[in-house]
Structure 1
């Protein structure tokens, strides 16, 4: 929970301090890279860490991740320019890529199937607390101390997490020589980075149909195709291709992907709608989104009672239906709506996410043995990260198209100065798209094998 807290707080604490960072270091046009480079490093490294953990154990990978995250935090706190801060955020992202999936993998190792839902709920509660504490700390540090403390505060937390893990967690790993798939890891990192870069920056820094837009995605496709060829021949592949041949894993990963898409739509545009359309302040707008992070741990904690009685398949389908209902509740929201009418759908969707994502991780871990549990968990996390990147591209394109259509005589509109009359229909289009995407969760639930819903042993 301490290790997860590092990643969870960092996911929210920086956003409120961006103006202070820009005032100090400059580089306003580059600050989005503070988030993009972190997401790139985290997402691409997750499956690689998962494989290394299956070969050499969870403990060294988790300690490495905590060490990289603490080092990156220290360097970020000492950054002298925006380019330096962006580079140090990459180091943080490499650490986060190990911490989050390894925390879930360790839970899968040391707790029984019946216990995991409750423990996953504990981990989810860390994110719920961080969603409130993170922005508050970020604002306090930026206004009364220094923005640098939003990174330096990670040092004592990370040291405590590393010390406890070093002293209290022990595991038995079979010691033997391994053939490390360096070529596969390199191709996955390069191809995945280009793919995420193309999705994150397409339509933002360059047009989708431009040479950079097409070239980056084409290069990513070539590298990932080469990765598949290499993995089919490697004695110990970094991402075994059989992962994509198991129905239960495909169902869990597709659900994680869709959850990633929808989470991005909520986290990016619900606060903007609350501020730009409903006229609330930043703190109140954040509380509307916090409703989602309250619903998630409630569902994650209670999901075990459902999948142990009605099965994984029905639990995921139940969560998918709840998400669809929540997305439908967003559709009537307009400029005259009260804040609770915006927060309630977020709360309902958060409950649905908890009943889809948490059982998805548990069933993925339970369908493989110890030697593959890290890969299974890492692939699930990678699918959610890819969903977030796709969500950035799709929802950003929708909003940009609506905003551009409202600009008179081809003029460019600044998001900071957009009127409620322009923002409302643009963001409402995102809500409509989210409702359509939510239906895909039903398909992922139907894809789940029926026998996955009646576990008898802990794999």
Structure 2
């Protein structure tokens, strides 16, 4: 043997060679270590090298640093801009159709289909989300993202070309399927493109800008419907989508770890993607969302239909849980990942924080329209007061995390500010001055900017590179279900409160007629004598919704304590064994 081929093994290599490992027969990769006694700290997990699962890079590299290839400069700008625009379009699609629906129903004579125009998009997206984590785990991140984005664009094109209500609903369903993997895909791409310590500002900026789509959706929808055609509510996705596709094609996105050959995955598709688990999870999510969508609207909450949907969702979920436990680490969403403290805490914290954002996005415009007589377009303009502070603080919070290294203080601060600002929202009345509601929204935007990226960052830091796609799908799926649940609860609180308050504040007014007229037209049927009482009733009903969101933001303060004290800063020198042994606190473990 040539002496040049002889190498002396290091102590780390000797330790790794003698350490027993189990292997997954389907992927021939080392299985995850789930035992608390053998599982490394979260800081070590976040810095594992994909090429050597047992190693810990000494330079503090992130989960994607196995090849030390990161996207920088103009390529990073193009990548960040493209994925932000993609998620922006997804958010835009959730709200842009709202102001276009009256014109659509006039053209297709489809008033009975209004509920499906909105709900089918969310149903299709939520049903597919758990599967997207497996897809990103097994296949190329770049190809998977582009494939789902192409489906989203095809759905938008079908909607724009729709010649019937049925064709529009089909297009919305296809667009929803494509949107299912775009938010978590964007988060995964950021995790691959930049090291852990540089993600907070980029993630916060991406989420902040994309959420602007929820706010400006009604404005754009109203403008398109008024000055061109409602079809541009969907056509707008095509030119922006072309830019996104070109930018992603030219930028190389380094995967977090070596992916499998797509053809080998297709040959073992049911096992690799756990299609049985998906066939159980998807109906559970759809039944739950249908119950929330129809409950209190088309059917009474106590009706057999709604009770049946809730029972069906619970029974199907129980069956999925048993199957998931049986499948172990090969399951659609392995319980070993859900049990990681930072994962479930991150998902729940994100649920609490993001539901307050979406609730405000729906009920603040309603307040401005009802209590202040603003038009639908101007009510959207008024809620922009929280957007610029949100974007600014997202960057500031990212810079602060890079200096301090920890996400928990900022997540707690976000929950605290969110609870205070939503509590202040609950004091709104028909006479609230402009300066007051602007200041309250600025405060709320500051809280959003501090916190929206922190749970995501904590989950990414807590998982092995191969598990980050699953972790992101858990966060996004929990967030989507949470938004549906809280919006349904908020609507119930609002409707119930409005009826009771109308009886108290305007007893001579026709409450049923006021409810049918809606926030923008009830002034046409209410007498001058009854109008002040009706305005107060609307304000009080909306105020009670913000009692709920203030409480949810307060719960986020508590759940953020479990995100893990992981220092995400890049280490400046080699870490000693003692430093590594103190890299994570007991709270970081299972």
**TM-score past 0.5 threshold:** yes
Partner of 1:270: 364
- Residue 199 of structure 1: aligned partner: 292
Q: Deviations over 1:340-373 (max 9, x none)?
A: 4334323322322232220111111121122111
Bigger drift between 163-172 and 395-404 goes to 163-172
Give me the whole-angstrom Cα distance separating, in 1, the residues matched to 2:426 and 2:420: 10
Name the CA shift for 1:346/1:196 in 2 (closer, same or farther; >3 Å): farther
Measured after TM superposition, the shift of residue 276 of structure 1 is 0.6
After superposition, the C-alpha distances for 1:14-53 in whole angstroms (9 at most, x for unaligned) are 2232222222223224313222111122222222111110
Deviation, structure 1 residue 218: 0.5
Structure 2 counterparts to residues 120-131 of structure 1, below 5 A: 120-127=203-210, 130=213
Q: Runs of 4+ in structure 1 displaced over 4 angstroms?
A: 407-412, 453-459
Farther off after superposition, 172-181 or 373-382: 172-181
Partner of 2:134: 51
Change (3 A) 1:331 1:68: same
Q: Which residue of 107, 112, 120 corresponds with 1:24? A: 107
Partner residue of 2:423?
A: 328
Counterpart of 1:446 in structure 2 is: 561
CA drift at 1:415: 4.8
- 2:176 maps to 93
> 1:153 is matched with which residue?
236
Which residue is equivalent to 2:53? none
Alignment of 1:357-376 (within 5 A): 357-376=452-471
- Higher alpha-carbon deviation: 104-113 or 396-405: 396-405
Please say if 1:14 is aligned against 2:97.
yes
Listed one character per residue, the Cα deviations across residues 147-172 of structure 1 (whole Å, up to 9, x for unaligned) are 11111121122223223223323445
For 2:117 and 2:162, locate their aligned partners in 1 and report how far apart those are by CA, in whole Å. Answer: 12
**Alpha-carbon distance in 1 for matches of 2:208, 2:353:** 18
The correspondence for 1:175, drawn from 260, 268, 289, is 260
1:100-123 per-position Cα deviation (integer Å, ceiling 9, x unaligned): 210111001111122112222431
CA RMSD of superposed structures (Å): 2.4
Alignment counterpart, residue 539 of structure 2, candidates 408, 419, 424: 424
- Higher mean C-alpha deviation, range 148-157 or range 29-38: 29-38
Distance 1:134 1:74 in 2: 18
Distance of 1:435 and 1:198 partners within structure 2:
25
Q: 1:444 to 1:456 in 2, by over 3 A?
A: farther
Judge conservation of contact 1:251–1:444 (CA < 8 Å) in 2.
yes
Displacement after TM superposition at 1:456 (Å) = 6.3
DSSP-derived class of the 1:334 partner = coil
- Correspondence for 2:148: 65
Q: 1:251 to 1:415 in 2, by over 3 A?
A: farther
Mark the CA change 1:190 to 1:301 in structure 2 (over 3 Å): closer, same or farther. Answer: same
CA deviation after TM superposition for structure 1 residue 128, in Å = 5.6
Question: 1: distance between equivalents of 2:218 and 2:252?
Answer: 32
Tell me the CA shift for residue 184 of structure 1. Answer: 0.4
Higher mean alpha-carbon deviation, 22-31 vs 353-362, is at 22-31
Q: What's the TM-score, normalizing by structure 1?
A: 0.93
Offset at 1:125? 4.6
Report Cα offsets for 1:253-292 as digits up to 9, x if no partner. Answer: 1111112331232111110111111222222211232223
CA distance 1:34–1:345, change in 2 (3 Å): farther
Superposed CA offset, 1:325-346 (max 9, x none) = 2112213221111234334323
Paired positions, count: 458
Conservation of the 8 A alpha-carbon contact between 1:76 and 1:89: yes
- Mapped to 2, the partners of 1:326 and 1:453 lie a distance apart of 29
**2-side partners of 1:81 and 1:131: how far apart?**
26
How much has 1:202 moved relative to structure 2? 1.5
Per-residue CA shift, 1:83-102, capped at 9, x if unaligned?
33122111111111111210
Deviates more, 1:301-310 or 1:69-78: 301-310
CA contact (8 A) 1:313 1:453 kept: no
- Any residues of structure 2 matched to 1:30-429 within 5 Å, and which? 30-127=113-210, 130=213, 134-172=217-255, 173-175=258-260, 177-178=264-265, 179-180=271-272, 181-234=274-327, 236-308=330-402, 309=404, 311-405=406-500, 406=502, 411=512, 413-416=515-518, 417-418=521-522, 419-429=534-544
8 Å contact kept, 2:351–2:478? yes
Structure 2 contact 292–484 (Cα < 8 Å) conserved:
yes
Alpha-carbon separation, structure 2, partners of 1:72 and 1:340: 42
Aligned-residue offset at 1:55:
0.9
Instruction: Note if contact 1:303-1:358 (Cα within 8 Å) is conserved in structure 2.
Output: no
1:239–1:33 CA distance, 2 compared to 1 (3 A): same
Task: Tell whether the 8 Å contact from 1:75 to 1:88 is kept in structure 2 after alignment.
Answer: yes
Structure 1 pair 93–354 and aligned structure 2 pair: CA distance change class (3 A): same
SS in 2 for 1:336: coil
Change beyond 3 A, Cα 1:426–1:170: closer
CA contact (8 A) 1:307 1:359 kept: no
